[in-house]
Structure 1
């Protein structure tokens, strides 16, 4: 785990002008992307696994598909949701937890970088990483399964951005409040729960009614439903999923910013 930081030392005075804040966020974002590129396991989780899931389920006849839809059209929104959860909650959460464990965050805490700016920089770095994820998944869907874009691109991008904020904040909330080992176990456990109850692979109507009712309130199902509604023919703004996802995003982001600890 790299421990160097491009930020100034603890003797540097803190500056709170908008320009200095922007520079700090940009510098830290570059640093986050550099670290991510050096972690092979992160590349596996965030890029390869979602592609493998798309290929696996699109190649079999075990997933129900709506009449008139191709397998790729039915699966891609859910796989994109899974990719966002993997990048934000699992990848970012676990990496940040071990940065805290190894004392990297303690050093950042003595620099001019504030807690909120660190969180913003980490979320932006995940947004950049997800551009690669989305392009890779769409490329596979187009090349191998004849997928063609339908629906509303602006609403789909809004759903992706809101989902990124939500699950990145969730990963950071765990990383900033729990021990590294607890974050590792918790992020992976939640990831599995969200895959099973998010509706991305198995539609919620195929679950028992009580479980489906609980699943409808989870951020994973809100993100999946938002993408499904915006990536289908005649896609419109999915009001309820977007409101639910926005509520989750605001609540989790506030929790992350207030409970995040440097050490």
Structure 2
């Protein structure tokens, strides 16, 4: 399963579109929210509100959108049938994807958190353990949802649904 996770993480990081969606667009969103005064983010310092929101969006995007689309096209081209003949099996594939997504999310948190700190973000350190737990559980839930959507709908429909959500 760890070998599958390494493979999945490598695929995610080598795919230019995934890298754009996972790292570059959240960075642009973070910097834009920091530099502008619109939209209103409520009370408090903008950067302290923007960083957690951008991190949550990045986690959801990586865990759901990319995984649902990849799975749908893997299914379309018969890759999943081939996995059925290996010792990895379906559960190993899902766990491999979850571990890979968590690895990519760790990279996102490092990059986006580092940029946030550089822009003046002052996180409440006592909330970090709870945020990590929620992030891990949320990522796992979104990967499972991606498996559900990517495993049930046609690849073209998954493109529309995953990008819409």
TM-score tier, shorter chain, comes to: over 0.9
Give the RMSD, CA atoms, in angstroms: 1.3
Q: What is the Cα deviation at residue 32 of structure 1?
A: 0.8
Aligned length in residues? 164
Q: Counterpart in 2 of 1:210?
A: none
Q: Counterpart in 1 of 2:123?
A: 149
Runs of 4+ in 1 over 6 A off after TM superposition: none
Kept in 2: contact 1:46–1:91 (CA 8 A)? no
Q: Counterpart in 2 of 1:185?
A: 160
Q: Counterpart in 1 of 2:97?
A: 122
Deviations 1:113-146 (A, max 9, x none): 2211211110110000000101111111111x21
Q: How does 1:92-107 map to 2 (within 5 A)?
A: 92-107=67-82
Q: What is the Cα deviation at residue 52 of structure 1?
A: 1.1
Q: Counterpart in 2 of 1:259?
A: none
Flag structure 2 segments of 5+ consecutive residues without an equivalent.
Answer: none
Q: TM-score when scaled to structure 2? A: 0.93
Question: Structure 1 residue 50 and structure 2 residue 26: aligned?
Answer: yes
Question: Structure 1 residue 169 and structure 2 residue 144: aligned?
Answer: yes
Q: What is the Cα deviation at residue 66 of structure 1?
A: 4.2
Flag structure 1 segments of 5+ consecutive residues without an equivalent.
Answer: 1-24, 191-263
Tell me the secondary structure at the aligned position of residue 123 of structure 2. coil
Q: Counterpart in 2 of 1:19?
A: none
Deviations 1:149-202 (A, max 9, x none): 214211110011111011111111111111111111100011xxxxxxxxxxxx
Q: Counterpart in 1 of 2:46?
A: 71
